[in-house]
Amino acid sequence: MSPAKPAPNQPAAHKRITAPRPSGRNAPGALAAALSRPAATPAIRDVRALKEQALDLALVGNCRIAALVNPTARIVWWCFPRFDSNPVFSRLLAGDEEKGFCDVALSDMAQSKSAYARNTAIVVTELEDRQGGRIRVTDFAPRFLRFERIFRPPLIIRRIEPLAGLPRVQIRVRPTHSYGEPTVSQSIGSNHIRFQGGGEVLRLSTDAPLSYIAQETLFPLARPIALILGPDEPFEGEIEQCAREFEAHTRGYWQSWVRSLSLPFEWQSAVIRAAITLQLCSFEETGGIVAAHTTSIPEAPNSGRNWDYRYCWLRDAYFVVHALNLLSTTQTMESYLDYVTTVAAQLDVPLGPVHAIVPGHPLDEIAADRLSGFLGMGPVRIGNGAAVYAQHDVYGSVVLAATQMFVDQRLPRMGNEILFRRLEPIGELAFDAALKPDAGIWEYRKRTRIHTYSAALCWAACDRLSQIAAYLGLPARARYWRRRSNRLRREILAGAWSPVERAFVGALDDPVLDASVLRIGEIGLVKPRDPRFVATCGAIGERLLRNGRIMRYIADDDFGAPETAFLACNFWYIEALAAIGRRDEAREFFAGLLDCRNSFGLLSEDIHPQTGALWGNFPQTYSMAGIINVAARLSEKWEDVWCHGSS
């Protein structure tokens, strides 16, 4: 089969010039190389190139709401009033229809530059016209300490300032309701406009001329103005002044938050951006962390692989907790563990793989007919049918995540025997399900197998329960779970090893390679230096590699052969390379993945091996956690680099 051509409006692989990367633990000049890397500067874009940047988007939010902003300061996606709500701005999935957005259109615009304010979740965009007129648009969601608690209202604030010349702008606010229906009903107050439709109300408070906004009139921007978008509540105070103060407080909050992070010496800016993004995927009210902030961005062009990812997958729990632990963001980690244990405690219903940010909320899957899809590639789905699938890895994911609570002395409420007893029924379910067919981590919709990854996670549940019991001084329970884990280990390893492939394969007694088996060394089912695991890494690197990217598998699934590479598998491959001693290769592979980020430093779910285009829902928690986990594993130690730099 010939390589697929790039889909329309998709970018070619981004090429970046970076300083040479040190290779190996004792590489001379590592300090000099790291410190000499140029600081990231906003990319300047020609107007003609803008439509090619399909997923060149920035995320703004405050752990209650989140929105996506494109490089010309157009808000193209905002679910309001929470992550999984109807999008009031839905342009991202509207195909060619000019609906569902808020922008500041600069007359005769020539170029733009856009970037995050350093170490914050604030996006600053500058637009310049052909006469040299310039404006700055600053987008953020307020988040800061107020009255001894976090202030995080469901607001998006846009500050618009003239910088040079006499620029003329057109402010356009075109919300939608009911997943894509244009909101045409407006009512104008003294300093606000109410957009009402389908029982939903979005309120815009502003000090800009209301009639200009209502009629989308072009006008000269002679002074700073502010737009405050949010619920139908009066905004008290002087608008531009409040917007300016909220920005300063929000900037201070994020900079202080970043100062509290534990960071590796290398790749700090990438890890900081990944950390902030991961934090913005946390719905602070319940502690749930969504897989992504979008629905139905196709995994590949015109593939139909369009799913709603605005929910919480238990399979992510172990990887996310690991990343949060590395960052020392203990409060977010503790809240997330509370969410996971809350979901797992509902033993009266089967433990599904995916849950709403408010546990128990239904996730029935339906199509949104009013939205034609990302680049016109529908369908657009709301809800996720995977919620009712049998995915046996969820049991191990819960226990692996909860294990942190028993050993982390930073947590105010540590795990104890009561929590252990609550986890034991999950262990029993894991033991019972380990060698039974399920939909697997990839959520096959039309087939089941005894998947190696699922079975391995069930083993991990029993293994960790044995270790927790020993830690708590419960020898009888430790022996009980050790016997179960040993039995599962023998049967899994016997069935998962394929003499034909000379590798562990994706399902027991089914010789098809699958990148998910790269995790069995990380969780301890086999030792990383076990010759069988080393051989498996070699087989995956040889047979699942497509133009420098690891595919999760290459066999046909429910939709045919996969076309794009799942980014998480590439991070797993890097970790596996490091674990088996191929550290230099792992570093080089990681450098290549970092070059795949968009101009704001974010990753989606998938990447096209031929075009380098990002596909899949965005930004993807799995991918951002991968940056954090891999950087921590591969980075030179602070003390080692300083010593080498002075020798």
DSSP string for 502-554: TEE-SBTTB----GGGGHHHHHTSS-TT-HHHHHHHHHHHHHSEETTEE-S--
Is residue 9 in a domain? Answer: no
Residue 148 burial (C-beta neighbours within 10 Å; 0-12, 13-18, 19+): exposed
Backbone φ and ψ of 174, nearest 5°: -130, 75
What is the overall mean pLDDT for the chain?
91
- The pLDDT-based confidence of 264 (bands split at 50, 70, 90) is very high
**pLDDT score of 36 more than 60:** no
Average pLDDT, integer, range 408-435: 95
Residues 415 and 468 sit within 8 Å (Cβ to Cβ)? yes
**pLDDT score of 37 more than 90:** no
Question: Prior bond to 231 cis, omega within 30?
Answer: no
Residue 418's Cα: distance from chain center in Å? 33
Average pLDDT, integer, range 370-395: 95
- C-beta atoms surrounding 291 within 10 Å: 24
Q: Residue 606: beta bridge partners?
A: 566, 615
* Cβ partners under 8 Å of residue 612, min gap 6: 11, 12, 13, 14, 596
Same domain flag for 295 and 164: no
Same domain flag for 153 and 271: no
Is residue 561 in a domain? Answer: no
**How far is the CA of 63 from the CAs of 281, 286, 411, in angstroms?**
7, 10, 21
Give 557's DSSP letter.
Answer: B
- The pLDDT-based confidence of 6 (bands split at 50, 70, 90) is very low
**How far is the CA of 334 from the CAs of 358, 414, 633, in angstroms?**
17, 10, 23
Would you state the pLDDT for residue 372? 97
Would you state the pLDDT for residue 584? 96
482 sits in the region (left: phi over 0; alpha: psi -120 to 50; else beta) called alpha
Average pLDDT, integer, range 212-227: 97
Average pLDDT, integer, range 78-101: 97
Same domain flag for 325 and 433: yes
Residues 267 and 279 sit within 8 Å (Cβ to Cβ)? no
Would you state the pLDDT for residue 346? 76
What's the pTM value of the predicted model, to 2 decimals? Answer: 0.92
Is residue 620 in a domain? Answer: yes
Same domain flag for 199 and 299: no
- The pLDDT-based confidence of 644 (bands split at 50, 70, 90) is low
Same domain flag for 310 and 214: no
Is residue 528 in a domain? Answer: no
Residue whose tokens read 């072009």: 218
Closest CA to 260 of 246, 250, 275: 275
Is residue 110 in a domain? Answer: yes
Would you state the pLDDT for residue 148? 86
The last residue of a domain, from among 239, 273, 302: 239
Strand, helix or coil for residue 183: coil
Residues 618 and 609 sit within 8 Å (Cβ to Cβ)? no
Residue-number span of the structural domain to which 349 is assigned: 257-501+605-646
Would you state the pLDDT for residue 27? 42
Is residue 244 in a domain? Answer: no
The last residue of a domain, from among 210, 239, 268: 239
Q: How many whole angstroms separate alpha carbon 329 and alpha carbon 342?
A: 20
Number of domains making up the chain: 2
Same domain flag for 320 and 415: yes
Same domain flag for 202 and 268: no
Q: Residue 264: beta bridge partners?
A: none
Strand, helix or coil for residue 575: helix
Would you state the pLDDT for residue 640? 84
Helix pair 621-634, 583-594: axis angle to 10 deg: 140
pLDDT tens-digit profile of 274-314?
A: 999 999 999 999 999 999 999 999 999 999 999 999 999 99
pLDDT tens-digit profile of 503-520?
A: 999 999 889 999 999 999
CATH of the domain at 309: 1.50.10
* Amino acid in the structure at residue 372: S
Would you state the pLDDT for residue 446? 82
Q: Which tokens is 55 given?
A: 């997923």
| Gap between the terminal Cα atoms of the chain | 53
pLDDT tens-digit profile of 620-641?
A: 999 999 999 999 999 999 888 7
Same domain flag for 192 and 261: no
pLDDT tens-digit profile of 552-587?
A: 999 988 888 999 999 999 999 999 999 999 999 999
**pLDDT score of 399 more than 50:** yes
Same domain flag for 151 and 227: yes
* Amino acid in the structure at residue 308: D
Average pLDDT, integer, range 471-491: 98
pLDDT tens-digit profile of 324-353?
A: 999 999 999 999 999 999 998 876 677 899
The percent of residues above 70 in pLDDT, for the chain, comes to 91
Average pLDDT, integer, range 588-601: 96
Average pLDDT, integer, range 142-157: 95
